[in-house]
Amino acid sequence: MRAKTHRRFCWLIGGPLCLFIAAAWAANDPAVPLLWREVGDQASAGRPFPPKKPWVIREREIVFDPQLLVLLKNAAARPIPPIAIDLFHGHAYELDVSSTLARLSDVSTIRGSLKHAPKATWSLIISGNVVNGTVQVGDRLYKIEHVFNGRHRLQEVDPVKVPPD
């Protein structure tokens, strides 16, 4: 009787665990291209970023894939192929695009959620190669901002400390 209970327990725990591992594996698929990548320290040596603001928990310089930006901006290019983003945890999240609004002035607003991540939304405003946006994953808030000369940074911010706009 005890062995039967043990097998049932393992099956109940093992099934959801396998689903979780499969979802994590799919989200970190190396075949899914990243919308941005981190810029190494050597690229930032030319001109440092402005000082970190008190509400910023951590930040890093990123560079966008120009082809993926063009694809996201094109409202007619649906469905789009898988595109992922990498925040700070080394975990890639696949984007799920829900709306794209493109204007004649070359400004696009794109919104969506993150696949396999409950309570996760994102929005980007793209003008040429300048990008600003936010990503919300649960209680964590991330900001993407253009700093200068096409340089961008990804920041994790403390929502309690951020001053109102």
The whole-chain average pLDDT of the chain stands at 79
Give the CA-trace dihedral at 25, 31, 33, 37, to 10 degrees.
70
Q: The whole model's pTM is what?
A: 0.75
Percent of the chain with pLDDT over 90: 44
What SS3 class is residue 123? strand
Instruction: Return phi, psi of residue 64, to 5°.
Output: -85, 150
pLDDT tops 80 at residue 27: no
Average pLDDT value for residue range 93-117: 90
Confidence band of 8 (pLDDT split at 50, 70, 90) = very low
Average pLDDT value for residue range 9-22: 39
pLDDT at 16: 38
Average pLDDT value for residue range 33-43: 79
Going by C-alpha positions, the residue among 79, 69, 82, 87 that lies closest to residue 143 is 87
pLDDT tops 90 at residue 126: yes
pLDDT tops 50 at residue 54: yes
Confidence band of 102 (pLDDT split at 50, 70, 90) = confident
The count of other CB atoms within 10 Å of the CB of residue 5 is 9
CA distances from 54 to 46, 59, 158 (A): 24, 12, 9
CA distances from 9 to 2, 17, 82, 86 (A): 11, 12, 36, 35
Confidence band of 86 (pLDDT split at 50, 70, 90) = very high
pLDDT at 45: 54
Q: What is the largest CA-CA distance in the chain?
A: 71
